[in-house]
Amino acid sequence: MTCDRTFVTVTLLLATAAAAVTGDDEISPTTTVNQPGPASKVVKIVALFHENDDSVNQLAYNVSTRIVNIMDTVLPKNKIVQRSEYVVNDMYNVTRIVCESMKLGIAAFIGGTDDEEIENVIRSMSSRAQIPFIETHWKTSDRPPDEYAVNLYPDPSLLSKAIRDIILDMDWESFTVIYESPMSLIRLKDLLMHFDYGQRAPGKAIRIIQMSPVEDFRPMFKELKSFGEKHIILDYGIEHIVHILEQADEVHFMGDYQSFVITNLDAHTLTFEEFHKSMANITLIRLIDPESQHVRNAVDEIVFNEQKNGRISVLTPNTLKTKTALIYDAVNFFAASLHGLVATQTMGPTRISCDDIKPWVHGYSLINYMRVMELNGLTGKMRFDGVTGNRNYFKVDVVKVHESKKHRLGSWDPSEGMTLTRSVSEIYSEIAQSITNKTFVVVGKLVQPYLMKCNATEKGIDEDEECFEGFAYELVAEMAKYNGFKFKFTTNEDYGSQNLKTGKWNGMIGELQSMRADLAICDLTITFDRRTAVDFTTPFMTLGISILYAKPEKKKPQLFWFLNPLSFSVWMYTATAYLGVSLFLFMLARMTPFEWEIPHPIKPGDDTLENSMTLLNCLWFSIGSVLCAGCEILPKITPNEWHDPQPWKDGNNELETRLNVANLIWFSCGTMLQQGSDISPQAVSTRLVAGMWWFFALIMTSSYTANLTASITSGRLDTPIKNVDDLSKDSDIQYGCYEEGSTAAFFQKSNLSLYQRMWSVMESSNPTVFTKSNQEGVDRVLKGKGRYAFLMESSSIEYQTERNCNLMQIGNTLDSKGYGIAMPMNSPYRTLISESVLRLQESGFMRELKDKWWKGVNKCEEEEESEELGFTKIGGVFVVLVLGCLIAFVFSILEFLWNIRKVAIEEEITPKEALILEWKFAMKCDGGVKPLRRRHNTSTEYESNNSDTS
């Protein structure tokens, strides 16, 4: 064991040390002080200091003793006589001084050195002599408990937990420890164990760097800055800390995103005035509260004692070091323990010789009092472990340095853990105040409409400065106006991707990680990978991935567009049905007796029946039912329309027609009102066929009319794809996305089989379907003319379709995500910026801003179909009408000429004379009765028929 080895070494030197003992050998262990009243017992204590130690420590030791002696309530019957010894790191020297001290008959040793080897010698000899040893130096080695030692310095294991809890309360996920000596790691043991350093994530979550304080720290800080490190833990002597921070400031590593935690308990004595312009977060821990009245009184006593001796002291409560306060507390601690002991038993120190060490009989009782003692000193409340003597209760304050001023954030103690004394509103108010003095460097990507360059002269800006405009620029400007900060825009054309080997990011994310920028805003999607590298505000725009596709070209007007509602096969089926029904109706009419009737007018001696459902009439009946056209009246230019009047009169040699002016008007009305044919079936069978045919004609006509309306009013062809599933199945259409954006990451990392298959197709396409920018993808869609589809964010698609009528969005969004403002990790301004985004959304400003830049003056107006049909769409109907009329006219001429031939033969006149007679009559506009030119022939035929019948 360490103590045993030290004791063996000490005993070898006792003989030599005993020979050198001189001086106060003859002093009695108890001395009577000449003063009024009863005699007081003198109790001696010895404090050992290093020869290079601060003189303030011995001064505090002397002043504390004097105050205890003055206060009769502490030791009314005892007076403390203090003795100071200075030692060097020499075993013989230390042993000699300890032996000399024990020869005087002392009651306690107070350790005032920071040397572990010196402390071990004192501890070993005091334990052998059973003289209490009050330590003020932190234990740097793991040694067995000493029965006669008690340590006022906080237990290193508890101090390590305090540092761990403070770091965890700051939400640090990674940090770098920079320390001076291996002993510093004792204070950081619990912290390193919590982050599993060297086990599951060696060197990834945290870095540990040991550097001598005389080295140049600037290259190291530059490297940490390039890595994006922002959290630093410094464990160095108080004399080196400011110099290290100065080097960090020289390489701009003292910004508002860097945070330093200084573990030295004396860091509160530093002023940090040279960093008053720095925005770095510096956090300290301290045992001493300068605002405590107890501390102020003690400092005043020390300063007053110096002034009484003619010396000037610059000591203040803010510059009181932990070691000085612990030595001051050690005397009070000893006095309080002695007070408890002398109240129960008579105590007297004994001179002890190193030649023959005999334990002090009261040492055991005194050390037990010390270990159960609770005391409020300059370092706060003290409580000790009854077995080890280590201080197991203390309170450290957590202090933040802001503009060279120190603000207490909270405190930590073993029982309560971390306790914050500042409210959230106070912290928020401080951050809100600090942002007014901040000039943010904002990085963005030049992409419409988020950020675009403008004309500096038109904006009234200095020509040397870059001029920007756009959605992102106005959004930041509005937030700056509300929060009172300034900003400056820079550009970077890459969103940022991570190098898997080095772990570093480039692009805008890299700018934020290296703290060259404070904000990044554009169409930057919040993704999991980016969120692990930087912080994001509340999304200022929600969107999703969709398909950008070229609109099909407009149909060219077709002359016979009215044929489009039905396919060619349907037209053929309809024509076949028309012929089939007409023939079937003709056959049924021939079979049924109810379709045969007496002819009209009745002729004398005629006993025949006639059937009006001839083949021609059946064909006419069917077509009339389909076209719903009146067919009882036809034009009169043909001679077939002139017939004998009904009823027929003897001696009447005139023919009549129903196509007079009144009937022509009725014909037109009947056609418009969709009147059917006057040929009507009479039998049940034929009427059933007619009824089914009418039902068929009704459905076909209605369907044709509906499809015709849709066909002539639609200006474009249907797109070949309706959604992403159609796109993945259509091998004729290529599709791609921006190769370094969040859209590519979505397909690459998706677990859905559809998206995995699409990603495989995109990767294997040759030439590549990926683009270097969104604009390149838009251009490729336009040039592809339906052969290329581009996958991109719906907000960007909306912007493009508003300005280009040849583009369209296909289907719904594939996912849901948002654009956010990116900031360096753990940015103190994240809450303020996020609240600004929410405020602008609730006020409607964000909606108005989007409308301004998405639906600007150059927006694409959607083409509206006219309610009136142009001639180009229904001109074919007029063509059919004209052609039908021309064909009818041709047939009418042929019939007219054929009738001229018959008239010329029968009337025995020349064809020219017959033509003139018939043409003059046809050109008359009045009269519906025509003279019968072949009356004699008709009479002869009638008489002949009568004779045959009889």
pLDDT for residue 539: 92
Count each helix (H run) and each strand (E run) in the chain, helices first.
30, 33
> So what's the pLDDT on residue 660?
53
- Does the global pTM surpass 0.85? no
What is the mean pLDDT of the segment spanning 628-634? Answer: 44
C-alpha to C-alpha distance for 761 and 732, rounded to whole angstroms: 13
Q: Specify the pLDDT at position 643.
A: 56
345 pLDDT exceeds 70?
A: yes
pLDDT in tens, 54-75: 788 999 999 999 998 888 777 7
pLDDT of 218 strictly over 90? yes
Would you place residue 171 in the very low, low, confident or very high pLDDT band (cuts 50, 70, 90)?
confident
Distance of CA 358 to CAs 32, 130, 155, 367, Å? 25, 9, 31, 17
pLDDT for residue 31: 31
User: What is the pLDDT, as a whole number, of residue 40?
Assistant: 61
Q: How many CB atoms lie within 10 A of CB 266?
A: 22
More confidently predicted of 456 and 17? 456
Sign of CA dihedral 457, 459, 464, 470: negative
**Token pair of 637 as six digits:** 């230019």
Lowest-pLDDT choice from 329-338, 551-560, 804-813: 551-560
Could you report the per-residue pLDDT of 392-423, keeping only the tens digit for each?
999 999 998 877 788 888 999 999 998 887 66
Q: In the structure, what pLDDT confidence band is assigned to residue 255 with cuts at 50, 70 and 90?
A: confident
Residue 558's identity, in one-letter code, is Q
Amino acid 406: pLDDT:
86
When pLDDT is cut at 50, 70 and 90, the band that residue 915 belongs to is confident
Q: Say whether pLDDT at 552 is over 60.
A: yes
How many other C-beta atoms lie within 10 A of the C-beta of residue 275? 20
End-to-end alpha-carbon separation of the chain, Å? 161
DSSP 8-state symbol, 740: T
Comparing 246 with 201, the larger pLDDT belongs to 246
Which pLDDT score is estimated for 567?
81
The dihedrals phi and psi of 182, each to the nearest 5 degrees, come to -60, -25
Structure confidence by residue, pLDDT tens digits, 582-626: 888 777 777 777 676 777 666 666 667 777 778 888 887 777 766
pLDDT of residue 635: 43
**3-class DSSP state for residue 786?**
coil
**DSSP letter string, 111-173:** E----HHHHHHHHHHHHHHT--EEE-S---S--PPPTTEEEEEEPHHHHHHHHHHHHHHTT-S
pLDDT in tens, 666-703: 344 344 434 444 556 777 777 777 778 777 878 888 88
Does the structure show a pLDDT above 90 at 257? no
Token duo for residue 652: 């009447």
How high is the mean pLDDT of the chain?
Answer: 79
Cα 924 to Cα 643: distance, rounded to the nearest angstrom: 18
**Between these two residues, 154 and 893, which has the higher pLDDT value?**
154
pLDDT in tens, 894-909: 877 888 888 788 877 8
pLDDT band per the 50, 70, 90 thresholds, residue 333: very high
Structure confidence at residue 944 (pLDDT): 43
What is the per-residue pLDDT across 703-730, written as a single tens digit (0 to 9) for each?
Answer: 888 877 776 666 555 678 888 898 888 8
| pLDDT, average across residues 337-359 | 83
Give residue 411's pLDDT. 92
Express as a percent the part of the chain with pLDDT over 70: 79
Query: What is the predicted pLDDT for the residue at 673?
Result: 36
Cα distances from 671 to residues 277, 621, 633, 666, in angstroms, run 95, 14, 10, 8
Confidence of residue 183 (pLDDT cuts 50, 70, 90): confident
**CA 2/CA 528 separation, integer angstroms:** 53
What is the pairing mode between strands 259-262 and 231-235? parallel
User: In this predicted structure, what is the pLDDT of residue 628?
Assistant: 54
Q: What is the mean pLDDT of residues 68-83?
A: 83
Residues of 744-766 as b/e, b for ≥16 C-beta within 10 angstroms?
Answer: bbbbeeeeeeebeebbebbeeee
Q: Which residues have CB under 8 Å from 19's CB, separation 6+?
A: none
Instruction: For residues 9 and 637, give the distance between their C-alpha atoms in angstroms, rounded to a whole number.
Output: 150
More confident residue, 447 or 946: 447
Of the listed ranges 176-190, 444-458, 694-708, the least confidently predicted one is 694-708
Long-range pairs, 862-870, Cβ under 8 A, ≥24: 862/805, 863/715, 863/805, 865/713, 865/714, 865/715, 869/712, 869/713, 870/557
Given a contact cutoff of 8 angstroms between Cβ atoms, the answer to whether 736 and 791 are in contact is yes
What pLDDT, on the 0 to 100 scale, is given for residue 558? 67
379's tokens: 């370092």
Q: Is the pLDDT of residue 652 over 60?
A: no
Q: Please give the pLDDT value at position 669.
A: 39
Q: What amino acid occupies position 653?
A: N
Per residue in 917-931, pLDDT (tens digit) is 777 776 766 555 666
Q: In whole angstroms, how far apart are CA 825 and each of 197, 512, 736, 804?
A: 21, 8, 32, 39
Higher pLDDT, 527 or 54: 527
814 closest CA partner among 542, 546, 526: 546
25 has pLDDT over 70: no
Which band of pLDDT confidence, cut at 50, 70 and 90, is reported for residue 636?
A: very low
pLDDT in the model for residue 679: 59
**Are 332 and 64 a contacting pair, CB within 8 Å?**
yes
The pLDDT-based confidence of 656 (bands split at 50, 70, 90) is low
Query: What mean pLDDT do residues 658-671 have?
Result: 46
Q: For residues 461 and 479, give the distance between their C-alpha atoms in angstroms, rounded to a whole number.
A: 20
Contact 876, 562 (CB under 8 A): yes
Q: Highest mean pLDDT range out of 243-247, 799-803, 827-831? A: 243-247
630/286: higher pLDDT? 286
Lowest-pLDDT range of 8-22, 295-309, 359-373, 753-767: 8-22
Angle at 217 between CA 211 and CA 219, to 5 degrees: 115
Is the pLDDT assigned to residue 940 strictly greater than 50? no
Is 13 a residue whose pLDDT tops 60? no
pLDDT of residue 197: 67
Distance CA 434, CA 420 (A): 21
In the chain, the percentage of residues whose pLDDT exceeds 90 is 27
pLDDT for the residue 933: 55
